[in-house]
Amino acid sequence: MKVVLIDDHALFREGLEGLLKRRGVEVTACSNAEEGVEMVTSVNPDAVMVDLRMPEVDGIRALQMLRNQNKEIPILILTTSDDAGDLKNCLQHEASGYLLKDMEPDELVLALKKVIAGELVVAPELASTLASIIQNKNSDGDDENGSIFSCLSPREMEILSHLTEGQSNKVIARHLGIADGTVKLHVKSILKKLGLHSRVEAAVLAANEGIFSNQG
């Protein structure tokens, strides 16, 4: 696994670099966003970790710069802020994850693997905050005549039910007897219709609405 770390705090940057390298992660560390964006271009990492609070160019601007350069690369925010506004802002700017700096190194390695696999990862302490953000985002644009899920087709609802159980595209495809690629297209359609960025957001929203709570 190859990652770029962008953080202006030398002690944290060097300490985390050492901890990750001892766990087999190849780390290229940068002290500012401009240097980090250049490094991402030359190193072509599997993921990028970005500090939220940085002088001159902060984490949000760094996110924008990185997304302008590469829409697909996983970008993980590492911060001390548990503020709901910061989490919401990062998700709106297409962060792949939002983690707090006091987490264990092994948990960070696991989170990196998850974002590289395409999952949204948020600090466990912020799970309820994430659910609230997702619900509010969807209720703002709700059709007063029905559920926010009424825009989904029966097949998409079926796939969403499997997403709430944390199943991969491959497992869902096997259950439904369809191709992996077909599941991927349905998931993409679900996210677009619900205005979400990841399958995890969709699963959290469905779970909190309780739409499948009477199943099984």
Can you give the pLDDT of all 216 residues of the chain as single tens digits? Answer: 999 999 999 999 999 999 999 999 999 999 999 999 999 999 999 999 999 999 888 889 999 999 888 888 899 999 999 988 888 888 888 888 899 999 999 999 999 998 888 777 888 888 778 777 766 665 555 444 446 788 888 899 999 988 888 788 888 999 999 998 899 899 989 988 888 877 777 887 887 777 776 554
Structural domain span for residue 202: 141-207
pLDDT score of 216: 47
Q: Which residues contact 30 (CB under 8 A, 6 or more apart)?
A: 4, 5, 6, 7, 36, 39
| Pair (65, 151) in one structural domain | no
The per-residue DSSP string of 135-150 comes to HHHHHHT--TTS-GGG
pLDDT score of 135: 66
| Pair (62, 152) in one structural domain | no
Tell me which of 92, 108, 130 is where a domain ends. Answer: 130
The per-residue DSSP string of 159-211 comes to HHHHHTTT--HHHHHHHHT--HHHHHHHHHHHHHHHT-SSHHHHHHHHHHHTT
Predicted structure pTM score: 0.67
CATH number at residue 158: 1.10.10.10
Cβ-based neighbour number of residue 4 at 10 Å: 28
pLDDT score of 215: 52
| Pair (112, 173) in one structural domain | no
pLDDT score of 202: 82
Domain assignment of residue 67, yes or no: yes
Q: How many domains does the chain have?
A: 2
| Pair (27, 61) in one structural domain | yes
pLDDT score of 24: 94
Q: How far is CA 140 from the centre of its chain?
A: 22
Domain assignment of residue 146, yes or no: yes
DSSP letter assigned to residue 3:
E
Domain assignment of residue 10, yes or no: yes
Tell me which of 130, 156, 172 is where a domain ends. Answer: 130
| Pair (38, 81) in one structural domain | yes
